[in-house]
Amino acid sequence: MPFFSRFEWMLALRYLRARRQEGFISVIAIFSFLGIMLGVATLIIVMSVMNGFRAELLGRILGLNGHLTIQSESAPVIRDFQFVTDAVGQMPGVVMANPIVEGQVMATADRGSSGAAVRGVRPEDLAKESAIAKGIREGSLRDFHGDDAAVIGHRLARKLGLRVGDQITLISPQTNATPFGSVPRLVRYRVAAVFDVGMFEYDSAFIYLPFEAAQTYFRLQNMASSVEVRLVDPLKAREAARAIMQRLGPNYRLYDWQQANAQFVSALEVERNVMFLILTLIIVVAAFNIISSMIMLVKDKGRDIAILRTMGTARGTIMRIFVIAGASIGVLGTGSGFALGLAFALNIESIRQALQAMTGWQLFPAEIYFLSQLPAKVDSTEVVYVVIMGLTLTLLATLYPSWRAARLDPVEALRYE
């Protein structure tokens, strides 16, 4: 025998189809349905965007920076960088170790100037950085060699009006001594390629030079600023760091990508948890609407309940009728919210583009959010949790009104009716 009989289903669905004088109850039920649907959908959409935002940023940061960075303990540069590179590059779990030279400059061209970060890398190492190699928009990394080649971000190129083959001038804060006093050092480089990695910070402010050219420019002959290490598994960075420190000794300091981005990662996690709690309140409010609509329905159907009781209907049957009525709103609302949220999250970038075309407003500007596209990553486990939470809250919301209906005294109900 099924838990809910056909008789219980028939009465429950009939009570949900309100007659003219019961229209207000039906309106409350509709708003309860809409509240649960929008609450579940919003929760799925926002959590998917937060997951996508975190995954995109961390993925691109790890694609552009090493999982571990090795620096000298006693100096701002590493003099024996070749020893460090060879020793670490042969360790198990290490994909590659490459020396880099870093510095800040002023980049100028005919159309203006802008501050920029210069990173000197070996051409073969740059080709292995998937974020840069896959993000080449103009030119080719095959031309990234010699003393005058440079690879720049596409936003920086657009700002300065540069294309492949044009000249960019780098002005260093380090000066040259002349008979007329100290003057800034100016060196012109040929734009060999333009990259687009989809992160505003890198696309608008990063310039790559060949390693030897960067050493010459920053006067770091036979030296490197640091050595970057890329691992097979970035999540095992701390275990790898301990093994590397044992091999290199105490003359070096080492920090991993989690330490370098600790505040950023923790801020994303806190924001994600807070958003989950806040948006859960939408479902809670909708559940309270179900409680109010069911209480009003029980009060309105008091005479019907009394007649059913006098005809021998058990209290359990009365309770199940109103559980079905209330739970139907919750199940339909949760299911509709699940479908709406999933459809929205999987097509959110297309929706953003359509809204931008319709309104003319720039939604999700890259200058603020660091990404040129709105990311969304649907986590199936989180979606299941949201659906279960929606169903559980709506089911709990039906218990008290259903219990009141089952406890209704038929004599009192008929007397006042």
Q: pLDDT for 105-126, tens place per residue?
A: 999 988 888 889 999 999 888 8
Is 100 or 173 the better-scoring residue by pLDDT? 100
Band of the pLDDT at 21, cuts 50, 70, 90? Answer: low
Taking the C-alpha atoms of residue 83 and residue 75, their distance in angstroms, rounded to an integer, is: 16
248-271 residues labelled b (16+ CB within 10 A) or e (exposed): beeebebebbeebbeeebeebeee
Average pLDDT score over the chain: 81
CA distances to 109, 120, 241, 289 from 254, in Å: 37, 20, 7, 56
Is 273 or 313 the better-scoring residue by pLDDT? 273
Angle between helices 315-346 and 348-359 (to 10 degrees): 70
Amino acid, res. 186: L
Taking the C-alpha atoms of residue 153 and residue 284, their distance in angstroms, rounded to an integer, is: 47
Condensed to tens digits (0 to 9), the pLDDT of residues 119-157 reads 999 988 888 866 788 888 898 888 898 888 999 999 999
Assess contact for 293 and 392: CB atoms under 8 A. no
H or E, element range at 155:
helix 154-160
Q: Three-class SS of residue 224?
A: strand
Query: What token pair was written down for 298?
Result: 């029980």
DSSP for 255-301, written as a single string: EEHHHHTHHHHHHHHHHHHHHHHHHHHHHHHHHHHHHHHHHHHHHHT
Is 368 or 247 the better-scoring residue by pLDDT? 247
Band of the pLDDT at 62, cuts 50, 70, 90? Answer: confident
Q: Is the pLDDT of residue 32 over 90?
A: no
Q: Where are the alpha helices (DSSP H) in 181-261?
A: 200-203, 211-217, 237-248, 257-260
Mean pLDDT of 160-164: 91
Chain CA centroid to CA 37, Å: 23
Band of the pLDDT at 1, cuts 50, 70, 90? Answer: very low
Q: Is the pLDDT of residue 325 over 50?
A: yes
Residue-level pLDDT at 188: 92
Residue-level pLDDT at 25: 57
Condensed to tens digits (0 to 9), the pLDDT of residues 352-384 reads 778 777 877 766 665 555 566 677 888 888 889
Band of the pLDDT at 175, cuts 50, 70, 90? Answer: low
Which of 329, 250, 347 has its CA nearest to residue 44?
A: 347
Which range of 23-32, 151-160, 253-262 scores highest in mean pLDDT? It is 151-160
Taking the C-alpha atoms of residue 376 and residue 345, their distance in angstroms, rounded to an integer, is: 6
Mean pLDDT of 301-324: 78
For residues 46, 48, 49, 51, the Cα torsion angle rounded to the nearest 10 degrees is 120
For residues 221, 224, 225, 230, the Cα torsion angle rounded to the nearest 10 degrees is 160
Query: What token pair was written down for 211?
Result: 């390693």
Mean pLDDT of 322-330: 82
